[in-house]
Amino acid sequence: MTVEERLAHLGLVLPAAPAMPPGVRISFSWVRVVGARVIVSGHGAQAPDGSPQGPFGRVPDVVSLEQAQVSARAAALSVISSVQRAIGDLDRIEAWLSVSGFVNTVPGYPQTTAVLNAFSEVVHDVFGDTVGAHARTAIGVSALPLDLPVVVAAELEVAAVG
């Protein structure tokens, strides 16, 4: 089964390219491919049209653990979508190397790993245990862009074209 077939089988839909709110400008690439390395900038949850998707705010006082996990799952789809636009065929992915997750939290919040587990589960479900296995960091921070509850960056390895 191809990655795209697995996405469809799981009922997962990739969002459109990230669309920033009016007045927000970015000066970086969402994905940078250098040789076999794919470096992915931080992504948050996106609506199907590519716009930022709520809920917005800190975990757990504004956004519950469960809502943050939904946001982490959506962030995984955002990352996968951007990687697809950058490399074309998702079946070229040979390995998810590392995932760096940031959770917008109240000071001392100890559940960042539980939040980011939802991201990792999507990667494992879509890419399988061999390709989807990755090292991961789950860090609590005092603020994130656009007041997102979760932002995730990643590094992957891909097969050469041809």
HEC letters along 98-139: EEEEEEEECCCCCCHHHHHHHHHHHHHHHHHHHHHCCEEEEE
The CA distance from 155 to 55, in Å, is: 26
Architecture of the domain defined by 29-158? 2-Layer Sandwich (3.30)
Averages of pLDDT over runs of 10 residues in the chain (162 residues) are: 97 96 94 98 98 97 98 98 98 98 98 98 98 98 97 96 72
Q: What is the DSSP letter of 18?
A: P
- Domains of the chain, by residue range, sit at 29-158
Q: 75 CB contacts (<8 Å, ≥6 apart)? A: 43, 44, 45, 119, 150, 151, 152
- Give the amino acid at 110: P
Strand, coil or helix: what is 64?
A: coil
For the whole model, what pTM was predicted? 0.97
Contact 95, 131 (CB under 8 A): yes
Residue 160: per-residue pLDDT? 85
Residue 83: per-residue pLDDT? 98
Contact 59, 109 (CB under 8 A): yes
